[in-house]
Amino acid sequence: MTAREWVIVNPGGSHRVVVTGELPGERWLQLLTAADCRVEIAQGHEVLVAAELRAAFANPCDAVIGQITESWSEEMLGALAAAGALIYSQYAVGYDNVDLAAATRLGLPVGNTPGVLTETTAQLAVALTFAAARRIAEGDRLMRAGAYRGWLPTMLLGSLLFRGTLGIVGAGRIGAAYGRMMVEGHKMDLVYHDVRENEELERYVADYAAFLVARGERPVTCRRAATLPELLGACDVVSIHAALTAETQHLIGAPELAAMKEEAVLVNSSRGPLLDEAALVAHCRAHPCFRAGLDVLEREPAMAPGLAELDNVVLVPHLGSATTFTREGMATLAAANAAAILQSWPVWPAARSLEDVRPFLEDEAPPRAAPSIVNADALGLPRLAASPQGKEDQQ
């Protein structure tokens, strides 16, 4: 393990905040320095291993801003609490790498960054859907290899998704946003599978269906599938947006892939372990007309043997939230969580959409609150009394 370089900003600050990786933008640093924080930022692109993390907050430490690639186990969180930390703030909306129950037992707030990446990640899922369905990556490779010899009627035939059937596994914020994009843009019927009924999404599709009827067009439909196999067999596209838990690991494996249509498209922009990568490789080899688009990997950054050689799989390196606006916004929210807790400010009402968190991103004087503490209620942390008006609830 090589010695890690660190950059220190505002060295005279009274609160010590450790940031485990370089973050984009400047607003996040401004929020922390305005809160009188000494900010220590790890340099380089390598993920901090456990020993490096523990060494980073070995001295008294008030807060850590960490990343989804790190493992925040009960032992690690206990060491952080013992160092005097008042918050662990995650630079991500997901927190399956954090033992939330342990953090709560330790009285340690855990922050995350919802709202700002919903549309961006859904947009990436749409991009993967059509890159796979229309064989964009194959065409790009053909062009770059100088193998294009002119237009042919049978070259790289893909799938027309217009008026097809779309399946969403996990209809939370991002899944619902992706569904709306595909239904509105391509008039697809929607089937979703989730532990909870998404009444808002169903109303949205029903309203859009009424609009189509008013224009003399065939309506679209939306229904909740009682079981996952029911969804898989019915859909031309299946996009995974479920949370990763012990129960959902390998949610899609060999039996589920076999239940899908021969020429279906499978997209995963959620968490890699939701999909059995080895099973996907075997299925794609046996079914060359089946296509997949992956933004996440089961053992990231490693790929399952054979995955990279498959022409019918589109691969991108975890780009779901990778727009300048979103990544800078995530940094701002993560920093705002830390700054607020260190200053004993309350927690913002539950953030479900971009509009809910926009004041933190754009207002000259951001709210004096923590944007999102996932265990706020369990810890009895106070919230602002009034919710922002006119906000969209995306679940």
Q: Are residues 97 and 213 in the same domain?
A: no
199 vs 350, higher pLDDT = 199
Q: Are residues 221 and 262 in the same domain?
A: yes
Segment 153-164 shows an average pLDDT of: 97
202 is a catalytic site residue = no
Across 61-96, b (16+ Cβ under 10 Å) vs e yields bbbbbbbbbbebeeebbbbbbebebbbbbbbbbbbe
Place 225 in a pLDDT band, splitting at 50, 70 and 90.
very high
Q: Are residues 35 and 169 in the same domain?
A: no
Q: Are residues 112 and 122 in the same domain?
A: no
300 is a catalytic site residue = yes
Q: Is residue 393 one of the residues assigned to a domain?
A: no
Instruction: Give the residue from 270, 294, 315 where a domain finishes.
Output: 315
Sheet holding 15-19, edge to edge: 6-9, 37-42, 15-19, 63-66, 87-90, 110-111
Place 276 in a pLDDT band, splitting at 50, 70 and 90.
very high
328 is a catalytic site residue = no
How many domains is the chain partitioned into structurally?
A: 2
This prediction has a pTM of: 0.91
Of 184, 202, 230, 300, catalytic: 300
Q: Are residues 99 and 187 in the same domain?
A: no
Q: Are residues 164 and 268 in the same domain?
A: yes
Of 318, 355, 358, 383, catalytic: 318
The whole-number pLDDT of residue 294 equals 98
Which domain does 137 fall in, by range? 118-315
Q: Are residues 169 and 295 in the same domain?
A: yes
Segment 153-170 shows an average pLDDT of: 97
Q: Is residue 347 one of the residues assigned to a domain?
A: yes
The whole-number pLDDT of residue 175 equals 97
Q: Are residues 105 and 136 in the same domain?
A: no
Report whether 240 contacts 275 (CB < 8 A). Answer: yes
Q: Is residue 384 one of the residues assigned to a domain?
A: no
Q: Are residues 134 and 185 in the same domain?
A: yes
Q: Is the confidence at residue 386, as pLDDT, over 80?
A: no
Of 15, 180, 241, 271, catalytic: 271
Place 351 in a pLDDT band, splitting at 50, 70 and 90.
confident
The CATH number linked to 91 is: 3.40.50.720
The β-bridge relationship of strands 237-240 and 265-268 is parallel
The whole-number pLDDT of residue 58 equals 87
Q: Are residues 137 and 94 in the same domain?
A: no
The whole-number pLDDT of residue 234 equals 97
393 vs 205, higher pLDDT = 205
The whole-number pLDDT of residue 389 equals 40
Span 201-214, pLDDT tens digits: 999 999 999 999 99
Q: What stretches of 118-264 adopt beta strand conformation (E)?
A: 165-169, 189-193, 222-224, 237-240
